[in-house]
Amino acid sequence: MSTAADLSFAPMGPSTQDAAGELLGAFLANDRHYRASSAAYGDEGEPALHRALALFLARPEIGCVWLAHRKGVAVGACVVCYAISTSRGALVAKLDDVTVRADAQGQGVGAAMLEALARWLRARGVTRIDSACHRGNAGAWRFYQRLGFVPLDEERIALALD
């Protein structure tokens, strides 16, 4: 069994775009909590994912796909988009689509990936990471709370503009 110590982390680049697409595509296709939310605003599937990955490469100032690698193989991914917080007067990051390959789960990959991401973001002036978690996803709630995330008394809402 591998440990988190043998992991490396970096934003997606052109050479890792396909691996990021595979990880995120599997997550988006199979996560029942994601599918429930996407039903409210629509999900354009794989073509939309590929457009999003291309946008992250073309516009790194808006965010990135953060990857965890073990021996050159992508085993974890998450999406980060930047925003400006009026309450912080600084950059914040919106975290989404956190996923770890099934054969790497339970080995500390997710925690190590987000801890490395937090260090990387802090070094770039980001002062907070915001995320959303489905109320019915008890495992995800425990995961985020172990990492120091605090539940907020608010609901996530969306308005599709197309």
Could you tell me which residues come within 8 angstroms of residue 133 by beta carbon, excluding any fewer than 6 positions away? 140, 141, 144
DSSP state string for 89-138? TEEEEEEEEEEE-GGGTTTTHHHHHHHHHHHHHHHTTEEEEE----TT-H
Mean pLDDT for the chain overall = 89
Span 68-78, average pLDDT = 97
Euclidean distance between CA atoms 63 and 82, whole angstroms: 6
Q: What is the pLDDT of residues 32-57, one digit of tens each?
A: 665 555 555 666 668 888 999 999 99
pLDDT for residue 63 is more than 90 = yes
Over pLDDT 70: what percentage of the chain?
85
Consecutive H or E run containing 137 = none
pLDDT for residue 107 is more than 80 = yes
DSSP assigned state of 153: S
Domain boundaries, the chain: 4-146
Predicted pLDDT at 155: 73
Over pLDDT 90: what percentage of the chain?
69
pLDDT for residue 152 is more than 80 = yes
Euclidean distance between CA atoms 133 and 121, whole angstroms: 20
Specify the fold of 4-146. Aminopeptidase (3.40.630)
Span 114-138, average pLDDT = 93
The answer to whether the beta carbons of residues 16 and 74 sit under 8 Å apart is: yes
Q: Read off the amino acid at residue 42.
A: G
Euclidean distance between CA atoms 114 and 68, whole angstroms: 9
The order of strands in the sheet holding 126-130 is 7-11, 63-70, 73-85, 90-100, 126-130
Which comes out higher in pLDDT, residue 10 or 49?
10
Residue 119: other Cβ atoms inside 10 A = 11
